[in-house]
Amino acid sequence: MSGIKVILDKCVGCGLCLKVCPTQAITLEDKKAIIDLDACTLCGACIDSCKFQAIEIVRQTIVKDDISAYKGVWVFVEQRNGVISSVVFELLAKARELAKDLNTYVGAILLGYGITDKAGELIHRGADKVFVIDSQALQHYISENYTSAIAGLIGKYKPEVILAGATTTGRSLVSRIAVSIYAGLTADCTGLDIDKEKKILIQTRPAFGGNIMAQIICPNFRPQMATVRHKVMPESDNDPSRKGEIIKESFDVNNQDKRIKFLDFVKEAISTVNLAEADIIVSGGRGLGEAGNFKLIEELAESIGAAVGSSRACVDAGWIPYSHQVGQTGMTVCPKIYIACGISGQIQHLVGMQSSKIIIAINKDADAPIFKVANYGIVGDLFKVIPLLTKKLKESPKELANKD
């Protein structure tokens, strides 16, 4: 039977595990840790805290089917109107690495309507095989229809690994696929490696808004599925001489889910650069004082080809739409550079941006928590600092915008 136990010989009663248990399931009796199994959620926090390896989780495992039959590292190709999302090229680069370690091929799953001619681009970017389903029923992304189409491909071709972007589309889609085929899925990975001995995927992801990292494996189920955070991994190169195979499959319209209909897509006019795709984000906070001052942020963003973000305070005050909110109840972003202006850095904001590669903070309060996560910072009046910065960056000879 699966469960958790304290190895009494090893437990010294130090009590470290009591402090990390999120459900207060552990008590000390006679200097030994006792776990209340009704309160324990088997989260494993105590195991990592124990310096004496005195707690272990016993895991009875089931093996679903012959996992050796599964080959290939697949990437879900997210596209809108035939424009492939840049996260796909990041996934293809990672897939090539993983496929090399697993000694297998890279597959791309391309679904849509009138998109077959995009297969070549995917081959140039690293796919060995492109599985294409070109059907009017798949013109717009609908989770239910995409799930049944891809589940069909998985059943037929048995891939070992499937990667998708951790986008609104990717996360909604692969959650459905994983459940429908009973496969393991890890969300929002920032690291993917192959355990070279066991030939399994090691998935690293942040939890608690990046305060902790978890490594997750899926040894007994196939395919091993993961969504991958945008902008963490480099894109694959475009090599027009690469050769690959295009495999055309069809979508059975009888499988189309009639209960859900796509009506329209409305592009939000205010955002010139979208937050998830941006290499640089300039965010404004309460320190801006009023809605009109967001133009300082917009000007700075424009001068360096950045997207505009915001703290929760400004969204709640109605200064800027919710789609710009970064943080716990908004978006999690991880651009190459994040510039926080007039944002004090409450934990709810930090969890949404602290994985950014470089953080620059501008704030008048030298003790603001944002400076603790900042690589660079200016303590000063943002109404003076931001216009100066905008001016100097415009003058800077380097090409600062997205270099793609």
Partner 1 sequence: MRILVCIKQVPDTTDVKINPETNTLIRDGVASIINPFDMYAIEEGVLLKERFGGEVVAITMGPPQAQEALREAISLGVDSVIHLSDRVFAGSDTWATSLILAEAIKKIGDFDLVICGKQASDGDTAQVGPGIATHINLPQATYVRRIDTIHLDTSPQIMVVERLLEEGYELLELQLPALITVVKDLNTPRLPSLRGKMAARKVEIPTWSNKELNISEDKIGLKGSPTQVVKIFTPPQKESGKIFEGDPEEATTKLVEEIKDIL
Residues 182-211 that bind partner 1 (CB under 8 A): 182-188, 202, 206-211
- In angstroms, the CA 83 to CA 349 distance is 32
Question: Which of 13, 136, 252, 322 touches partner 1 by CB under 8 A?
Answer: 322
**Using the rule CB under 8 A, is 234 a contact of partner 1?**
no
Report the alpha-carbon angle 222-226-229, nearest 5.
170
Asked if 342 and 283 count as a contact pair (C-beta separation under 8 A), the reply is no
Question: Between 31 and 80, whose beta carbon lies closer to partner 1?
Answer: 80
Least distance from C-beta 400 to partner 1, angstroms? 5
Question: Between 130 and 343, whose beta carbon lies closer to partner 1?
Answer: 343
Least distance from C-beta 8 to partner 1, angstroms? 20
Question: Which residues lie closer than 8 Å to 396 by C-beta, 6 or more apart?
Answer: none
**Using the rule CB under 8 A, is 329 a contact of partner 1?**
yes
Question: Which of 53, 81, 136, 215 touches partner 1 by CB under 8 A?
Answer: 215
Cα separation values, 18 from 3, 145, 367, Å: 18, 47, 32
Structure tokens at 273: 């650069």
Cα separation values, 358 from 183, 229, 352, 379, Å: 36, 17, 14, 17
Least distance from C-beta 370 to partner 1, angstroms? 10
Least distance from C-beta 228 to partner 1, angstroms? 13
Question: Between 8 and 260, whose beta carbon lies closer to partner 1?
Answer: 260
Question: Which residues lie closer than 8 Å to 211 by C-beta, 6 or more apart?
Answer: 351
Asked if 279 and 330 count as a contact pair (C-beta separation under 8 A), the reply is no
Query: Interacting stretch for partner 1, rule CB under 8 A, among 5-13, 41-49, 91-99, 155-163?
Result: 41-49
Could you say which residues in the range 114-143 bind partner 1, by CB under 8 A?
Answer: 140, 143
Q: How many residues bind partner 1 (CB under 8 A)?
A: 122
E strand map for 290-367 = 307-310, 337-341, 358-363
**Using the rule CB under 8 A, is 45 a contact of partner 1?**
yes
**Using the rule CB under 8 A, is 91 a contact of partner 1?**
no
- In angstroms, the CA 88 to CA 134 distance is 18
Could you say which residues in the range 161-180 bind partner 1, by CB under 8 A?
Answer: 167-169, 171-172, 175-176, 178-180
**Using the rule CB under 8 A, is 12 a contact of partner 1?**
no
Beta bridge partners of 36: none
- In angstroms, the CA 356 to CA 313 distance is 21
- In angstroms, the CA 208 to CA 132 distance is 37
Contacts with partner 1, 262-301, as mask; x by CB under 8 A: xxxxxxx--x--xxxx--x---------------------
**Using the rule CB under 8 A, is 28 a contact of partner 1?**
no
Least distance from C-beta 71 to partner 1, angstroms? 19
